[in-house]
Amino acid sequence: MKRGDRLVDEHGVASTAVDRTAHTARGWAVAGYGIIADVSEALVGLLSDRIREREDVGTVDPDSVALISPDEVGEESDVRLGIYLYNVTENPTMKNADRTRAEGTNYRDPPLAIDLQYLVTAYPGSEDSEDSVRSATQHRLLGLAMQVFHDNARIDAADLPGEIGEDALPQIAVESEPIDVLTGLWSSFDGASFAPSVTYHVGPVFIDSNREESIPDVHERETRTNPKPDPRRDR
């Protein structure tokens, strides 16, 4: 059967078949349950790599970017930019996607589309002793991180496993959270002092489904019937 053939399923409902190749090309078929960790690590790698490539960032160590909670960063920590995943939600616009053809008569459930929210925080260096210097350093670091994410608004396919299509690459955008949400978020970090930070939305991210169902194909055929004779013609 070729892609686009009209089918009638076992319930008599006509549909257009979508093959597994198209499913993979959109990036859905290759995103396993580890994709959340992969995206998080890609964000850290993106910041580290861009800092390493630049010559205008002073003494910022590319390896000082970490995936870490604010309450795990102490005074003597080497972390200068921390990335923390604080919320995961289902993407409402892609919730009712159609099933896709896997192999033969097997159809796979649509992937779970999710959005990830991250807190990006700047920390001063241990060499910054004065409060004014510490604050200025944090502001510069935060600006650097925001510039990098602004210039790289999509996670590169090379930074994620598998072969994810361009249309399925997660987007990186500033998330404007209300002040009460930010306050509540920071209050949840035990012993952590508020630091200059910004929230980001990354998505959509697709987690492929492992559930498949076999639905036998019944090709739609045109049938012809002879019309019934009109008894009035015999009179």
Indicate which CATH number applies to the domain containing 178: 3.30.2000.30
At 219 the pLDDT is 60
At 110 the pLDDT is 81
Question: d(Cα 206, Cα 95) in Å, to the nearest integer?
Answer: 11
Instruction: Evaluate whether residue 129 is within a structural domain.
Output: yes
209: pLDDT strictly greater than 70: yes
223: pLDDT strictly greater than 60: no
Task: State the pTM of this model.
Answer: 0.76
Residues 34 and 160: beta-carbon distance below 8 Å: no
At 235 the pLDDT is 55
* pLDDT one-digit tens code per residue, 150-204: 999 999 988 887 767 777 789 999 999 999 999 999 999 998 989 999 999 999 9
At 11 the pLDDT is 38
Instruction: Evaluate whether residue 233 is within a structural domain.
Output: no
Instruction: Evaluate whether residue 86 is within a structural domain.
Output: yes
Instruction: Evaluate whether residue 70 is within a structural domain.
Output: yes
Question: Which residues sit opposite 83 in a β-bridge?
Answer: 67, 120
* pLDDT one-digit tens code per residue, 124-143: 887 666 777 888 989 999 99
> Residue 127 belongs to what domain range?
6-221
Instruction: Evaluate whether residue 72 is within a structural domain.
Output: yes
Instruction: Evaluate whether residue 146 is within a structural domain.
Output: yes
Instruction: Evaluate whether residue 229 is within a structural domain.
Output: no
Instruction: Evaluate whether residue 231 is within a structural domain.
Output: no
* pLDDT one-digit tens code per residue, 72-118: 998 889 999 999 999 999 998 877 766 666 666 667 678 889 999 99
Q: How many distinct structural domains can be found in the chain?
A: 1
